[in-house]
C-alpha cells in the first residue's frame, strides 16, 4: 500500500516537475477567476472553456519540457513559415468583416498572425544570440527589418491590435538586447507629445472630411470614438460607453456575482471575449479589478525573475520579451475596456474566452517554465 | 552598443533593463488602478445612476426611404404613413386572449394571426411585432380609448412602402420585405448594424436591393425619457435621421407600359437601351407581379400562386432567362466573318436548301433554298445554309472569341443583382460543363447549329439588347444601367450616373455599314417588312425563331402544344443612321419572330420616336400621373 502511494506520488511529482510552481499557481489563479466570471457572463460556453484550458495546459506542459536549445533551432523555420503564411493571407486570405486575416488551408481556417506573436520574439532572440559578442549597431537595423516585415503584413490585413502586439514583442527583444536609450527616449517623447496633441485637438481632426495619413477609416473612427464616445452612441461608441458604465457602476465591492445589470440586460457587447473585464469589474468591483491586477503583476515579476536568472542571451531575451507581452495584453485590454486606450481587439490574457489566444499564451508560459527549469544544465 | 562589453557588463545592463521594465509595468498598472478608482469610487454615483436608472433610453429615428422615379418623374416606389398595432409577446401574459380581446376593437383576420405567428418564430420575444397594419382612423380611436387594458400592445405610426404602379416594372423596381436572419448577417458583415437599429425592412429584389445603401438613409437617434410603463414622456436630445436618396431611372415608364400592354397575355421579355449611354429605357419581363404583396410579408396563398404558376411570374426573364438567340445571332456572326476576313460582303453561295455535314442533313426552312445568297440577302432573308457553311468555315474557336467580344456569354454589369451570364458555347465551355469524357468532346456538327443561333447558344434578352446597342453605337459598348441619377433628399443635389464606356470593339466602318444596311433591309424588304410597313423612320432589325422542341423533320403546325412552340425573337435599332434606341424582344412560344415579336418592337419604336401610343392606350389621360410625395413624417 505504501509502495503504491509512494509510486503514485513519485509519478505525480514527475508529471508536474517540468512546471514552474509559482508560474503555474498564478496562471491557475487567473484561470480560476476567469471561470468564475464566465459562469456569469456566458455559462453556455463552460464546456468549451474547460476543453480550451485542458488543451492549453497540455501545450504549456509540453513547451516546458522542450529545452531552450531546441527552441533556438526552430526559431528561424518558424519565423519563415509565419512570414510565408502571412504573404499567403495577403494573396489568398478569406475576408471577414472587412479584414483579410484568415487562411483556408483545406482542413481549417488559420490566423497566421497569431503564430507570429511567439515566432517574433523567438526569431529576434535567436538572431541576437547568434551575434553574441560581436554585436554592432548594424544588427539592430537587421533586427528592426525582421520585425517590420511581418508587422507591416499584419497591419495591412488590417489587424491593428495584433500588429501592435507583434511589434511590441519584437521591440522588447531589441530593448533587452541593449537598444540605446538615445533612440528609445526621443521616440517615446514624440509618441507622448503626439498622443497629447491628438487628445487636445480631437474636435478638429475628427471632422468627417479630415483624412489621416496612413490609417484606415475605421482606425480613425476608433480613435475619435475614444476621444468622444457620445459622437457615435449607436455604433462604435456604444461599446465604450456601456463598458465604462459597467465598470463605474460596479463600485468598490461590485454588484455581486451574476448580478451585473449591464451584463445581464445585454448592454455589454462581446462580454465573454474582449470586454469580459467589464463584467468582472461590474460584479466584483474595484476589489476584483485590483485582485486581477495584482495577479498580473505577480506573473510579470515572476517572469522578469526568470529572465534575470536565465543562463544564455537567447533565453534571457526570450524570457524578458515573453513576460512583457503578457503585460502588454493585460494593459492594453484593461485600458481599452476602461476607456483610456482605443478599442483594438486585444483579449484579456487567460480571462477572455477564445481557444487560440489561450493556447498562444500558455505556450509562452510553458517556454518561460522551460527556461527556468533548464537554467542549471547549461551552466554559467 | 558602444564598443564591446564583457559578459558581466552585458548581464548587468540586462538586469538593469529588467528593472526598468518592472518599474514601467508597475507604473502602467498604477495608472489603470487610478482609472478604476476614478470610475468606481469618484464617479460611482454618476455611473450607477446611468446603469440603474432606466428612465433614459436611446431610440433610433428611422430615416425615410428614398423614392424611385422614372425619367419623367413618375413615382414607382414611395412611402406613406399609417398606424400599426404592435404586440411585444414577452410582455403579454396570454397572447391568444389578448388577440381575441383586440379583435373586438379592430378587425383582425386569420391571415394577420398567421403572419404574427410566423414573425414570432423568426424573431426574439422582446421585439415588438405587428398584428395589424394600416389601421383606419376609427380603429385607432377605439384602441386608444381602451389602451389601458392592453399592456404590451402599442400603437405605432410607421412608414409603409407603396408601389403605386403595381405590376408595372415590378421586376426592375423589386420590393422590400422584413429583415430576416440572412439580411442581418449581411448587415453585420458590412458593419451597418448601428444604421439598421430600428429599421425592419430591407430591399429584397431589384433596384430596392441593389441600391439599398442609397435608399436607406442614415438613422438618427433620440434620447428619450420614459415613464414606468415604458412610454416616451419627452425627448432630451435628438439627432435627426438623414433620409435616403431618391433614384431617378433611365426607364421611361410609359414605354414600359406600352410594352407590357403589347405583350398581352403572352410570356416574354423586352429590353430597350439607349445606345449612346447604356441607359435602359424599358426592361420588361412578363407576366409580372404586384410587389405590394411582399412588403408586409406575403401570405401563403399569394406566395403559392406566384411561386407555383407555370408562367413563373417571379422570374425576371430579361436578366435570368437564357434563350437560344435563333437568327438574331446572324448579323453578329456576319460581322464577325467580316472582321476575321472569312467572308466579303459580295461573296455568294448557291443555297440548295440544305447543308450536309458529317452525314447529317441540316435543313434550311425554305424548301428548295434561297438560290444565290450574298451577305446582304443572307440577313434579309435569314438564310440558314449561308450560316451553316460560314460556321463551319470559321470554326468554333474563332466564333467563340469574336462573339464573346459583343458581350455574349458574359454578364453585362447592369446595376441590379442576379444577372445570368448565359452560355457562349466553345470546346472549353463544354469541357467544364460536362463530367463524362464522351460528353466533353466537341463535335463538328455542333458548330454548324451554333451558326444559326441554335445548339448550346443561350443568352439573356439583356445580353441580346446589349449586343444590339453596341452594334448600333458603332462598336462602343456602354455598361447598361437603370439609374440615371441619384438625388440627395437632403439638399436636392444630384449624382449623375455618367455613361460608362466598357470598351470599343475595333470594327471597320465599311463592315459596320454592310451589316447596318442588311438589317435595314430586313425591315424594308425582308422578314421584318410587314411589321414595319409604313414607318416614317428608318429602322434596322433582325427576326429570330428559336427552337424549343425538335420537330425531327416534321412540318411546323399551330397544333403543336403551345409550350413546345418556338420562341419568337426580334432585335432592332432606330433611327438606323443615328440610333437613339436599340432593343431585343423575346416572346416565349410565340412562333415566328416576324409574326409575334416584331410588332412589339414596332410599337416601342412608334412610341419612343413618334410619341404614338397604341390604340388601346391612346384614350387614357396622358398628363395626370399618380400623386407624388413621401407621405411625410419621420
Contacts of B26 in chain A (CB under 8 A): 297
Kindly state whether residue A200 falls inside one of the protein's structural domains.
no
Which residues pair with residue B129 across a beta bridge?
Answer: B87
**List of E strands, chain A:** 94-96, 99-104, 109-110
- Which of the pair, A265 or B412, is modelled with greater confidence? B412
Amino acid B232: pLDDT: 63
The verdict on A295 and A255 lying in the same domain is yes
Instruction: Please tell me the distance in Å from B29's CA to the nearest CA on chain A.
Output: 7
Burial annotation A149-175 (CB, 10 A radius, 16+ → b, else e): ebbebbbebbbbbbbbbbbbbbbbbbb
* Alpha-carbon gap, residue B358 to B578, rounded angstroms: 44
Q: Is any Cβ of chain B less than 8 angstroms from the Cβ of A345?
A: no
User: Considering its fold, how many domains does chain A have in total?
Assistant: 2
The verdict on A25 and A115 lying in the same domain is no
CATH number at residue B211: 3.90.1310.10
Amino acid B559: pLDDT: 53
Q: Is any Cβ of chain B less than 8 angstroms from the Cβ of A197?
A: no
- Using the structure block, give the residue that is written with the C-alpha cell 510565408: A84
**Which residue segment(s) compose the domain that A305 sits in?**
21-65+214-380
The verdict on A133 and A241 lying in the same domain is no
Interface of chain B against chain A, CB under 8 Å?
Answer: 1, 4, 10, 13-15, 17-18, 21-22, 25-26, 28-29, 31-33, 35-37, 39-41, 43-44, 46-48, 50-52, 58, 60, 188-189, 191, 193-195, 197, 219, 221
pLDDT, mean of residues B217-222: 86
Which residues pair with residue B68 across a beta bridge?
Answer: B77, B247
Retrieve residue B186's grid coordinates.
Answer: 449581411
Kindly state whether residue A33 falls inside one of the protein's structural domains.
yes
Kindly state whether residue B109 falls inside one of the protein's structural domains.
no
- A24-36: pLDDT as tens digits: 999 999 999 999 9
Burial annotation B593-618 (CB, 10 A radius, 16+ → b, else e): bbbbbbbbbbbbbbbbbeeebbeeee
Is the alpha carbon torsion for A127, A128, A132, A138 positive or negative?
Answer: positive
Of the listed ranges A107-111, B130-134, B630-634, the one predicted with least confidence: B630-634
Catalytic residue among B285, B327, B378, B449: B327
Count chain A–chain B contacts defined by CB atoms under 8 A: 132
Query: In the listed set B207, B227, B249, which residue is the last one of a domain according to the structure?
Result: B249
Q: Is this structure's pTM higher than 0.80? A: no
pLDDT, mean of residues B562-570: 84
Instruction: Please tell me the distance in Å from A15's CA to the nearest CA on chain B.
Output: 31
Amino acid B68: pLDDT: 95
Q: What are phi and psi of A169, to 5 degrees?
A: -55, -45
Contact A248 B52 (CB under 8 A): no
Max intra-chain CA distance, chain A = 80
pLDDT, mean of residues A180-193: 86
What are the residues whose beta carbons fall under 8 Å from the beta carbon of B215, sequence distance 6 or more?
B65, B66, B68, B203, B208, B244, B245, B247
Of the listed ranges A262-271, B534-543, B584-593, the one predicted with least confidence: A262-271
- B574-598: pLDDT as tens digits: 999 999 999 999 999 887 777 889 9
* Alpha-carbon gap, residue A226 to A218, rounded angstroms: 12
Note the ipTM here: 0.90
Instruction: Please tell me the distance in Å from A48's CA to the nearest CA on chain B.
Output: 24
* Alpha-carbon gap, residue B62 to B158, rounded angstroms: 10
**Which residue segment(s) compose the domain that B165 sits in?**
62-89+114-249
Query: In the listed set B249, B274, B300, which residue is the last one of a domain according to the structure?
Result: B249
The verdict on A322 and A347 lying in the same domain is yes
Concerning whether B210 is annotated as a catalytic residue, the answer is no
Amino acid A329: pLDDT: 92
Q: How confident is the model at residue B17 (pLDDT cuts 50, 70, 90)?
A: very high
Instruction: Please tell me the distance in Å from A19's CA to the nearest CA on chain B.
Output: 23
The verdict on B295 and B210 lying in the same domain is no
Contact B221 A133 (CB under 8 A): no
Contacts of A308 in chain B (CB under 8 A): 14-15, 18
Q: How confident is the model at residue A96 (pLDDT cuts 50, 70, 90)?
A: low
Contacts of B28 in chain A (CB under 8 A): 327, 331
Of A133, A175, A301, the CB nearest to B17: A175
- B128-163: pLDDT as tens digits: 788 888 888 888 888 888 888 888 888 888 888 999
Kindly state whether residue B36 falls inside one of the protein's structural domains.
no
Retrieve residue B615's grid coordinates.
Answer: 390604340
Amino acid B376: pLDDT: 94
Kindly state whether residue A278 falls inside one of the protein's structural domains.
yes
Kindly state whether residue B57 falls inside one of the protein's structural domains.
no
Is the alpha carbon torsion for B463, B465, B471, B473 positive or negative?
Answer: negative
Kindly state whether residue A244 falls inside one of the protein's structural domains.
yes
- For chain A, the first-to-last Cα distance in angstroms comes to 43
- A45-81: pLDDT as tens digits: 898 899 999 999 999 999 999 999 999 999 999 999 9
- B25-41: pLDDT as tens digits: 999 999 999 999 999 99
Q: How confident is the model at residue B56 (pLDDT cuts 50, 70, 90)?
A: low
The verdict on A235 and A286 lying in the same domain is yes
Kindly state whether residue B138 falls inside one of the protein's structural domains.
yes
The verdict on A236 and A158 lying in the same domain is no
Q: Which of A249, A290, A335 to mutate to probe the B interface, most B CBs <10 Å?
A: A249
Q: How confident is the model at residue A380 (pLDDT cuts 50, 70, 90)?
A: very low
pLDDT, mean of residues B398-422: 92
Retrieve residue A316's grid coordinates.
Answer: 534571457
Q: What are phi and psi of B104, to 5 degrees?
A: -75, -25
On the question of pLDDT at B621 being above 60, the answer is no
Is the alpha carbon torsion for A265, A268, A269, A275 positive or negative?
Answer: negative
Give the angle subtended at the CA of A257 by the CAs of A252 and A260, to the nearest 5°: 75
Kindly state whether residue B105 falls inside one of the protein's structural domains.
no
- Which of the pair, B90 or B559, is modelled with greater confidence? B90
The verdict on A35 and A128 lying in the same domain is no
pLDDT, mean of residues A322-347: 90
User: Considering its fold, how many domains does chain B have in total?
Assistant: 2
Amino acid A12: pLDDT: 83
The verdict on A240 and A313 lying in the same domain is yes
Kindly state whether residue B630 falls inside one of the protein's structural domains.
no
Q: Is any Cβ of chain B less than 8 angstroms from the Cβ of A140?
A: yes
Q: How confident is the model at residue B368 (pLDDT cuts 50, 70, 90)?
A: confident
The verdict on A131 and A167 lying in the same domain is yes
Amino acid at each position: 500500500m505504501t509502495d503504491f502511494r509512494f509510486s503514485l506520488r513519485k509519478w505525480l511529482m514527475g508529471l508536474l516537475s517540468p512546471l514552474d510552481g509559482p508560474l503555474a499557481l498564478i496562471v491557475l489563479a487567473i484561470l480560476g477567476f476567469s471561470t468564475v466570471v464566465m459562469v456569469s457572463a456566458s455559462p453556455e460556453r463552460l464546456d468549451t472553456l474547460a476543453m480550451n484550458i485542458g488543451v492549453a495546459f497540455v501545450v504549456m506542459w509540453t513547451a516546458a519540457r522542450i529545452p531552450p536549445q531546441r527552441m533556438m533551432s526552430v526559431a528561424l523555420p518558424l519565423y519563415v513559415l509565419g512570414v510565408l503564411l502571412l504573404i499567403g493571407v495577403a494573396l489568398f486570405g478569406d475576408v471577414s468583416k472587412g479584414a483579410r486575416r484568415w487562411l483556408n488551408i483545406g482542413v481549417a481556417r488559420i490566423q497566421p498572425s497569431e503564430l507570429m506573436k511567439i515566432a517574433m520574439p523567438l526569431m529576434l532572440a535567436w538572431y541576437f544570440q547568434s551575434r553574441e559578442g560581436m554585436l554592432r549597431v548594424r544588427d539592430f537595423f537587421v533586427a528592426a527589418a525582421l520585425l517590420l516585415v511581418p508587422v507591416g503584413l499584419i497591419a495591412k490585413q488590417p489587424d491593428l491590435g495584433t500588429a501592435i502586439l507583434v511589434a511590441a514583442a519584437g521591440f522588447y527583444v531589441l530593448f533587452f538586447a541593449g537598444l540605446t536609450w538615445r533612440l528609445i527616449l526621443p521616440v517615446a517623447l514624440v509618441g507622448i507629445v503626439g498622443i497629447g496633441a491628438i487628445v487636445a485637438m480631437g474636435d478638429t481632426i475628427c471632422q468627417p472630411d479630415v483624412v489621416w495619413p496612413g490609417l484606415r477609416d475605421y482606425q480613425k473612427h476608433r480613435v475619435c470614438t475614444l476621444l468622444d464616445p457620445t459622437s457615435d452612441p449607436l455604433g462604435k461608441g456604444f461599446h465604450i460607453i456601456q463598458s465604462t458604465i459597467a465598470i463605474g457602476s460596479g463600485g468598490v465591492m461590485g454588484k455581486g456575482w451574476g448580478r451585473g445589470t449591464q451584463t445581464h440586460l445585454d448592454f455589454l457587447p462581446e462580454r465573454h471575449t474582449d470586454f469580459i473585464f467589464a463584467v468582472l469589474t461590474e460584479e466584483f468591483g474595484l476589489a476584483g479589478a485590483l485582485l486581477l491586477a495584482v495577479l498580473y503583476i505577480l506573473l510579470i515579476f515572476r517572469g522578469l525573475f526568470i529572465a534575470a536568472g536565465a543562463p544564455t542571451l537567447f533565453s534571457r531575451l526570450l524570457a524578458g520579451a515573453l513576460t512583457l507581452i503578457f503585460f502588454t495584453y493585460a494593459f492594453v485590454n484593461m485600458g481599452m475596456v476602461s476607456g483610456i486606450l482605443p478599442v483594438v481587439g486585444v483579449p484579456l490574457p487567460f480571462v477572455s474566452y477564445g481557444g487560440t489566444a489561450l493556447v498562444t499564451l500558455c505556450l509562452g508560459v510553458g517556454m518561460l517554465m522551460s527556461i527556468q527549469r533548464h537554467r542549471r544544465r547549461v551552466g554559467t | 552598443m558602444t564598443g564591446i562589453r564583457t559578459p558581466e557588463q552585458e548581464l548587468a545592463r540586462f538586469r538593469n533593463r529588467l528593472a526598468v521594465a518592472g518599474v514601467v509595468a508597475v507604473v502602467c498598472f498604477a495608472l489603470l488602478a487610478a482609472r478604476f478608482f476614478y470610475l468606481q469610487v469618484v464617479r460611482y454615483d454618476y455611473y450607477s445612476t446611468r446603469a440603474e436608472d432606466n428612465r433614459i433610453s436611446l431610440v433610433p429615428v428611422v430615416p425615410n426611404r428614398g423614392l424611385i422615379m422614372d425619367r419623367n418623374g413618375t413615382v414607382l416606389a414611395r412611402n406613406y404613413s399609417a398606424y400599426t398595432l404592435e404586440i411585444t409577446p414577452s410582455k403579454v401574459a396570454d397572447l391568444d386572449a389578448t388577440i381575441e380581446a383586440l379583435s373586438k376593437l379592430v378587425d383582425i383576420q386569420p391571415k394577420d394571426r398567421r403572419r404574427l405567428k410566423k414573425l414570432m418564430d423568426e424573431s426574439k420575444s422582446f421585439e415588438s411585432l405587428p398584428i395589424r397594419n394600416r389601421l383606419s382612423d376609427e380603429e385607432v380611436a377605439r384602441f386608444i380609448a381602451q389602451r389601458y387594458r392592453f399592456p404590451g400592445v402599442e400603437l405605432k405610426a410607421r412608414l409603409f412602402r407603396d408601389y403605386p404602379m403595381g405590376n408595372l416594372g415590378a421586376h426592375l423596381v423589386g420590393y422590400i420585405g422584413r429583415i430576416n436572419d440572412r439580411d442581418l448577417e449581411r448587415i453585420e458583415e458590412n458593419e451597418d448594424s448601428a444604421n439598421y437599429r430600428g429599421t425592419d425592412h430591407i430591399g429584397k429584389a431589384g433596384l430596392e436591393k441593389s441600391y439599398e445603401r442609397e435608399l436607406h438613409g442614415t438613422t438618427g437617434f433620440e434620447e428619450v425619457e420614459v415613464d414606468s410603463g415604458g412610454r416616451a414622456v419627452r425627448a432630451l436630445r435628438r439627432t435627426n435621421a438623414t433620409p435616403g436618396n431618391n433614384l431617378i431611372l433611365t426607364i421611361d415608364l410609359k414605354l414600359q407600359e406600352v410594352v407590357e400592354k403589347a405583350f398581352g397575355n403572352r410570356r416574354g421579355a423586352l429590353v430597350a437601351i439607349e445606345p449612346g449611354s447604356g441607359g435602359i429605357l424599358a426592361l420588361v419581363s412578363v407576366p409580372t407581379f404586384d410587389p405590394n404583396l411582399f412588403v408586409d410579408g406575403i401570405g401563403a396563398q399569394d406566395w403559392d400562386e406566384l411561386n407555383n404558376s407555370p408562367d413563373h411570374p417571379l422570374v425576371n426573364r430579361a436578366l435570368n432567362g437564357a434563350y437560344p438567340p435563333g437568327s438574331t445571332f446572324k448579323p453578329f456572326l456576319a460581322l464577325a466573318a467580316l472582321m476575321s476576313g472569312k467572308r466579303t460582303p459580295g461573296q455568294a453561295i448557291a443555297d440548295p436548301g440544305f447543308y450536309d455535314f458529317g452525314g447529317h442533313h441540316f435543313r434550311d426552312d425554305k424548301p428548295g433554298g434561297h438560290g444565290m445568297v450574298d451577305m446582304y440577302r443572307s440577313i434579309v432573308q435569314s438564310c440558314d445554309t449561308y450560316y451553316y457553311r460560314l460556321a463551319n468555315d470559321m470554326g468554333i474557336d474563332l466564333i467563340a472569341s469574336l462573339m464573346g467580344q459583343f458581350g455574349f456569354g458574359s454578364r453585362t454589369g447592369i446595376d441590379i443583382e442576379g444577372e445570368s451570364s448565359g452560355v457562349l458555347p466553345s470546346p472549353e465551355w463544354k469541357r467544364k460543363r460536362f463530367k463524362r469524357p464522351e460528353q466533353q468532346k466537341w463535335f463538328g456538327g455542333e458548330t454548324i447549329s451554333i451558326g444559326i443561333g441554335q445548339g448550346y447558344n443561350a443568352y439573356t434578352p439583356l445580353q441580346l439588347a446589349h449586343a444590339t446597342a453596341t452594334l448600333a453605337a458603332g462598336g462602343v459598348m456602354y455598361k447598361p444601367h437603370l439609374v440615371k441619377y441619384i438625388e440627395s433628399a437632403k439638399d436636392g443635389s444630384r449624382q449623375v450616373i455618367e455613361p460608362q464606356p466598357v470598351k470599343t470593339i475595333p470594327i471597320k466602318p465599311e463592315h459596320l455599314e454592310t451589316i447596318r444596311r442588311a438589317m435595314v433591309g430586313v425591315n424594308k424588304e425582308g422578314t421584318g417588312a410587314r411589321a414595319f410597313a409604313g414607318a416614317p423612320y428608318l429602322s434596322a432589325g433582325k427576326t429570330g425563331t428559336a427552337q424549343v422542341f425538335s420537330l425531327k423533320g416534321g412540318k411546323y403546325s399551330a397544333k403543336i402544344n403551345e409550350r413546345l412552340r418556338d420562341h419568337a425573337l426580334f432585335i432592332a435599332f432606330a433611327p438606323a443612321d443615328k440610333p437613339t434606341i436599340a432593343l431585343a424582344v423575346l416572346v416565349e412560344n410565340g412562333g415566328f419572330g416576324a409574326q409575334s415579336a416584331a410588332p412589339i418592337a414596332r410599337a416601342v419604336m412608334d412610341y419612343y420616336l413618334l410619341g404614338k401610343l397604341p390604340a388601346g392606350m391612346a384614350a387614357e389621360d396622358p398628363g395626370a400621373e399618380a400623386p407624388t410625395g413621401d407621405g411625410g413624417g419621420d
